[in-house]
Amino acid sequence: MTELDTVFQDQLPPDHRSGVIAVIGRPNVGKSTLVNSILGQKIAIVSPKPQTTRRQQLGIYTEAEAQILFTDTPGMHHPHHKLGEYMVSVAQDSLRDADVVLWVVDVSVEPQRDDLNIADLLKPLVGRTPIVLALNKADLLKPDQIEGQVKHYTALIESTAALLLSATEGRGVTELLTDLKGRLPLGPRYYPVDQVSEVNMRFIAAEVVREKIILNTEQEVPYSVAVEVTEYKERSEAMTYIGATIYVERDTQKGIIIGKNGALLKKIGTEAREELAGVVETGVYLDLHVKVLKNWRMDEELMRRLGYRLPKAD
Q: Quick one: pLDDT band at residue 61, thresholds 50, 70, 90?
A: very high
pLDDT score, position 26: 87
List the one residue out of 281, 221, 207, 282 whose CA is nearest residue 249.
Answer: 221
Q: Regarding predicted confidence, which is higher, 49 or 238?
A: 238
Percent of the chain exceeding pLDDT 70 equals 78
Q: How large is the greatest C-alpha to C-alpha distance in the chain, in angstroms?
A: 63
pLDDT score, position 296: 78
Angle between helices 263-280 and 251-258 (to 10 degrees): 70
Q: List b or e across 92-118, with b for residues whose CB sees 16 or more CB atoms inside 10 angstroms.
A: eebbeebbbbbbbbbbbeebeebbeeb
pLDDT score, position 7: 43
Q: Is the pTM of this model over 0.75?
A: no
List the one residue out of 213, 270, 282, 219 whose CA is nearest residue 247.
Answer: 213
Beta-bridge partners for 61 = 68
What CATH class is the domain 3-183?
A: alpha beta
pLDDT score, position 309: 60
290's enclosing H/E stretch is: strand 283-292
By the 8 A CB rule, do 303 and 86 touch? Answer: yes
Measured CA to CA, the distance from residue 29 to residue 50 in angstroms comes to 8
By the 8 A CB rule, do 286 and 300 touch? Answer: no
pLDDT digits (tens, 9 = 90+) for 173-231: 999 999 999 999 999 998 888 777 766 678 788 888 988 898 888 766 767 788 888 88
Beta-bridge partners for 102 = 23, 132
Measured CA to CA, the distance from residue 293 to residue 295 in angstroms comes to 6
List the one residue out of 183, 174, 133 whose CA is nearest residue 17.
Answer: 183
Tell me the CATH architecture of domain 201-305.
2-Layer Sandwich (3.30)
pLDDT score, position 225: 84
pLDDT digits (tens, 9 = 90+) for 128-168: 999 999 999 999 999 999 999 999 999 999 999 999 999 99
pLDDT at 91 over 70: no
pLDDT score, position 196: 79
Query: How many residues comprise the chain?
Result: 314
- Chain centre distance of CA 53: 5
Query: Domain extents for the chain?
Result: 3-183, 201-305
